[in-house]
């Protein structure tokens, strides 16, 4: 069976994908990571050299000042491994209502990050941590040996600092991606179960759980091909296409900046090499966020965000 | 002529079973969907039961479908393996407990 391309399915449903108000800035500070997760769409890992320098950070800070974003989201790789992260946090925090830091937990535990953690506390930086499963085998098959134990240890530490505790202003959210070529669990059901399990097994609390489908790009895309799962997975995603997800997709109100300062509609388009408005544009050349109605670059990987209840 | 009795591609064609008896098929699928909706049991728990039963009735289509469903509902392979052991224990227990019938008959007709 020949699968319809993402552009074709949009056309068949009489839909177009364009930007609404851009109020989230996602800053990818680099592809260096202490882990080589098998589902990583960016192929981040310990041997990657692509890391944001101070000049690009300053250009992003200047843009954030002009753009007045409601949310700024720092991601990687492992942002904790990037020199200057503390500077970036300190500079961006006053420019937004909510600053988020994505962490794989083990990178946060790897070195003594007490300075970084107190900085996050002081600026009420929300921590978004990868935690695919409460099951050791599933977690380690995706993220590497020993990751569950070390992640649990770090979550406990975050809890003691007030993160994810009832009534605390310090937000701790978890992200779970499936450990394979299958769709994610419904967010609502998974959150309920994770809350029970984490509390029962380790007395850990957190605020929200986000479940996302794996993106068929990068290391995960290669694994899909090598394991003979690529066509079946893409078919599963396209069979689950839900036109209702389009209005809430994150690419409609998010602008993604890569480690070298180039702009994309989302982190997945970064991995696919699809620039914002299909042209390389540097953050230093951008006066204001993209206009309402600007078309969003799409590829078949977009099926991962429109399957089921979608990636918002 | 078929090369094998079972083909994985046939699983997706299950709704075609309604071709010659659409009313019955509609009733079946309506009931089926209602059974698997969240109720007193979660969808995850129901998928685990279905996986265990699939093994007991040895249906390759159901094993394929409910292995995927269990993973997508958030179960892991350790839980799924335990569910299959439940089916295996009941199946072997059912065989063994019939030994009492054998013993009763044996006792009755033996000196």
Q: What is the pLDDT of residue B84?
A: 98
Place B17 in a pLDDT band, splitting at 50, 70 and 90: very high
* Alpha carbon distance, N-terminus to C-terminus of chain B: 57
Residue in A242, A304, A135 with CA at minimum distance from that of residue B70:
A135
CA distances from A198 to A133, A151, A156, A194, A303 (A): 10, 12, 10, 6, 31
Query: If you average pLDDT over residues B70-86, what whole number do you get?
Result: 96
With tokens 């600026």, the residue in question is A123
Residue in A101, A203, A105, A197 with CA at minimum distance from that of residue A149:
A105
How far is the alpha carbon of B89 from chain A, nearest alpha carbon, in Å? 24
Q: What is the pLDDT of residue B4?
A: 86
Which CATH number is B18-109's, of 2.60.40.740, 3.40.50.2300, 1.20.1290.10, 2.60.40.10?
1.20.1290.10
Residues of B within 8 A of A178 (CB-CB) are 71-72
* Alpha carbon distance, N-terminus to C-terminus of chain A: 29
Residue in A173, A211, A209, A212 with CA at minimum distance from that of residue A192:
A209
Residue in A265, A271, A269, A211 with CA at minimum distance from that of residue A20:
A265
Place A1 in a pLDDT band, splitting at 50, 70 and 90: low
Asked if B71 is an interface residue toward chain A (Cβ–Cβ < 8 A), one would say yes
Q: What is the pLDDT of residue A57?
A: 98
B72: nearest CB among A133, A183, A193:
A183
Residues of B within 8 A of A183 (CB-CB) are 72
Order across the sheet with A98-103: list the strands.
A208-211, A172-176, A126-130, A98-103, A71-75, A24-28, A254-257, A263-264
Q: What is the pLDDT of residue B1?
A: 63
Place A309 in a pLDDT band, splitting at 50, 70 and 90: confident
Mutate to test the interface with B, among A188, A189, A231, A238 (most CBs of B within 10 A): A189
Give tens-digit pLDDT for A54-91: 999 999 999 999 999 999 999 999 999 999 999 999 99
- Kindly give, in sequence order, each residue whose CB lies less than 8 Å from that of residue A121, ignoring residues fewer than 6 positions away: A161, A162, A170
- Residue B18 pLDDT exceeds 60: yes
**Alpha carbons B27 and B18: distance in angstroms, whole number:** 10
Q: What is the pLDDT of residue A311?
A: 64
- Going by the DSSP 8-state scheme, the letter that residue A24 receives in this structure is E
Q: What is the pLDDT of residue A18?
A: 96
Number of A–B residue contacts, CB under 8 Å:
33
Query: If you average pLDDT over residues A245-263, what whole number do you get?
Result: 96
- Residue A185 pLDDT exceeds 80: yes
Q: What is the pLDDT of residue B73?
A: 95
**Alpha carbons A308 and A305: distance in angstroms, whole number:** 8
A6-306 classified as CATH 3.20.20: yes
**Alpha carbons B30 and B10: distance in angstroms, whole number:** 20
Place A114 in a pLDDT band, splitting at 50, 70 and 90: confident
The ipTM is 0.74
Query: If you average pLDDT over residues A151-180, what whole number do you get?
Result: 96
A182: nearest CB among B43, B44, B71:
B71
Beta strands in A17-171 (DSSP E): 24-28, 71-75, 98-103, 126-130
Element (H, E) at B96: helix B77-97
Asked if B37 is an interface residue toward chain A (Cβ–Cβ < 8 A), one would say no
Query: If you average pLDDT over residues B36-60, what whole number do you get?
Result: 96
Query: If you average pLDDT over residues A230-252, what whole number do you get?
Result: 95
Give tens-digit pLDDT for A9-48: 999 999 999 999 999 999 999 999 999 999 999 999 999 9
Residues of A within 8 A of B74 (CB-CB) are 185, 189-190, 193
**Alpha carbons A41 and A44: distance in angstroms, whole number:** 8
Q: Which of the two residues, A112 and A263, has the higher pLDDT score?
A: A263
Task: Determine how β-strand A263-264 pairs with β-strand A254-257.
Answer: antiparallel
Q: What is the pLDDT of residue A3?
A: 83
Q: What is the pLDDT of residue B5?
A: 87
Q: How many residues does chain B have?
A: 111
Q: What is the residue-averaged pLDDT of chain A?
A: 95
Query: If you average pLDDT over residues B14-19, what whole number do you get?
Result: 94
- Residue A248 pLDDT exceeds 80: yes
The proportion of chain A whose per-residue pLDDT surpasses 90, expressed as a percent, equals 92
Q: What is the pLDDT of residue A2?
A: 64
**Alpha carbons B99 and A39: distance in angstroms, whole number:** 51
Give tens-digit pLDDT for A190-231: 999 999 999 999 999 999 999 999 999 999 999 999 999 999
């Amino acid at each position: 069976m020949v699968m319809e391309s993402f552009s074709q399915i949009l056309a068949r449903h009489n839909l177009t994908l364009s930007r609404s108000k851009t109020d989230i800035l996602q800053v990818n500070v680099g592809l260096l990571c202490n882990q080589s997760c098998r589902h990583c769409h960016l192929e981040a890992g310990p041997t990657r050299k692509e890391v944001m320098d101070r000049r690009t950070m300053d250009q992003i800070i200047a843009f954030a000042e002009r753009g007045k974003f409601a949310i700024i989201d720092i991601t990687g790789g492992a942002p904790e491994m990037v020199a200057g992260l503390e500077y970036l946090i300190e500079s961006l925090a006053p420019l937004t209502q909510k600053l988020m830091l994505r962490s794989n937990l083990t990178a946060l535990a790897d070195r003594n990050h007490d300075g970084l953690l107190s900085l996050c506390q002081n600026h009420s930086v929300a921590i978004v941590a990868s935690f695919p499963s409460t099951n050791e085998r599933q977690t380690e098959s995706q993220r590497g040996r020993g990751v569950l134990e070390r992640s649990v240890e770090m979550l406990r530490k975050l809890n003691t600092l007030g993160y994810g505790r009832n009534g605390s202003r310090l937000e701790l959210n978890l992200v779970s991606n499936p450990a394979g070529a299958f769709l994610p669990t419904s967010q609502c059901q998974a959150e309920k179960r994770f809350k029970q399990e984490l509390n029962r097994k380790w007395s850990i609390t957190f605020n929200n759980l986000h479940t996302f489908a794996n993106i068929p790009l990068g290391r995960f895309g290669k694994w899909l091909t090598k394991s003979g799962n690529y066509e079946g997975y893409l078919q599963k995603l396209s069979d689950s296409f839900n036109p209702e997800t389009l209005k809430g997709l994150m690419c409609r109100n998010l602008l993604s900046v890569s480690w070298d300062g180039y702009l994309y509609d989302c982190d997945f388009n970064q991995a696919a090499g699809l620039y914002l408005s299909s042209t390389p544009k540097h953050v230093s050349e951008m006066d204001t966020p993209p206009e309402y109605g600007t078309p969003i670059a799409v590829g078949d990987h977009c099926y991962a965000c429109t399957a089921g209840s979608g990636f918002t | 002529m078929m090369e094998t009795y079972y083909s994985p591609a046939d699983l997706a064609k299950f709704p075609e079973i309604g071709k010659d008896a659409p009313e019955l098929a509609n009733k079946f699928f309506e009931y089926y969907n209602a059974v698997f909706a969240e109720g007193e049991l979660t969808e995850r728990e129901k998928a685990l039961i279905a996986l265990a039963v699939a093994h007991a009735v040895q249906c390759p289509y159901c094993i394929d479908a409910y292995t995927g469903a269990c993973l997508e509902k958030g179960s892991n392979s350790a839980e799924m393996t335990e569910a299959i052991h439940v089916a295996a224990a009941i199946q072997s227990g059912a065989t063994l407990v019939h030994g009492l019938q054998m013993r009763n008959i044996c006792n009755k007709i033996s000196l």
